[in-house]
């Protein structure tokens, strides 16, 4: 008799849709202390249960259909021993669950690998760390224009949404800071200084240095 798939935790598709893709969450934290500290901080909070996480789909056996939206249990993150680069970019991660109800061999408890796809984190938990709201209205486009850098060109409406938030949060920051912030927000997109500068009108040109 086939075993029933475990019921997913109480995370609805509607709630999950409002959560932040892991890549975008990292982009929000890069300016605080760099890429690696941002990864470590999020990972530590996931393991501690301070930050909730969920997946769009999950599977244990590739031959079975995916399980749908699910909240990832806190103790699963302890099985991720290395903070690899790939899952921060792809949103796909393999974690291990403890099969405590089964008999293992020797001193090791049996485990099984669970593969999660489309990882996201709770924006409220992220805001408690960053102290500011994270935009959730930006949507992926079906296609983007190619850029000289080999990355797709950031869409105008995405950049405008980012600029509206940036200008509220950092009214005194210059164009260089704005450009770095935009690149951190959209790490997989091409963001040029020339496109950012008009969106931060107070910082056109270099400010004069007063003695």
Instruction: Give 75-100 pLDDT, tens digit per residue.
Output: 888 877 666 667 887 888 988 876 65
Whether the full predicted model's pTM is greater than 0.85, yes or no, is no
104 has a pLDDT exceeding 60: no
Tell me, yes or no, whether 63 lies in a domain. Answer: yes
Helix extents (H) in 49-155: 86-90, 123-130
Residue 91 in domain: yes
- What range does the domain containing 76 cover? 13-127
**Structural domain contains residue 211:** no
Residue bearing tokens 């800071």: 177
In the chain, the number of structural domains is 2
Cβ contact 114:94 at 8 Å: yes
Quick one: DSSP state of residue 76? G
- How far is 138 from 10, CA to CA, in rounded Å? 25
Q: Is residue 186 domain-resident?
A: yes
Residues 33 and 97 reside in one and the same domain: yes
169 lies in some domain: yes
Task: Give the pLDDT confidence of 16-59 residue by residue, as tens digits.
Answer: 888 988 888 887 776 666 777 788 888 888 988 889 999 998 98
**Domain for residue 121, yes or no?**
yes
Distance between CA 99 and CA 106 in Å, rounded? 14
> Is 43 contained in some domain?
yes
Q: Which of 74, 98, 127 is the last residue of a domain?
A: 127
């Amino acid at each position: 008799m086939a075993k029933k798939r475990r019921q997913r935790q109480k995370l609805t598709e509607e709630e999950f849709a409002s959560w932040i893709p892991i890549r975008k969450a990292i982009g929000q934290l890069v300016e605080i202390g760099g890429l690696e500290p941002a990864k470590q901080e999020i990972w530590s909070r996931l393991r501690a249960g301070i930050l909730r996480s969920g997946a769009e789909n999950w599977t244990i056996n590739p031959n079975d259909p995916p399980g749908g939206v699910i909240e990832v249990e806190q103790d699963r993150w302890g099985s991720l021993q290395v903070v690899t680069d790939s899952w921060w970019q792809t949103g796909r991660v393999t974690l291990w669950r403890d099969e405590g109800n089964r008999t293992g061999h020797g001193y090791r408890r049996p485990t099984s690998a669970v593969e999660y796809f489309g990882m996201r984190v709770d924006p409220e938990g992220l805001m408690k760390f960053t102290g500011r709201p994270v935009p959730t209205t930006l949507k992926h486009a079906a296609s983007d224009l190619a850029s000289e850098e080999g990355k797709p060109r950031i869409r105008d409406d995405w950049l405008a949404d980012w600029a509206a938030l940036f200008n509220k949060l950092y009214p005194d920051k210059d164009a260089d800071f704005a450009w770095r912030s935009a690149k951190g927000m959209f790490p997989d997109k091409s963001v040029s200084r020339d496109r950012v500068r008009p969106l931060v009108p107070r910082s056109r040109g270099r400010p004069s240095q007063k003695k």
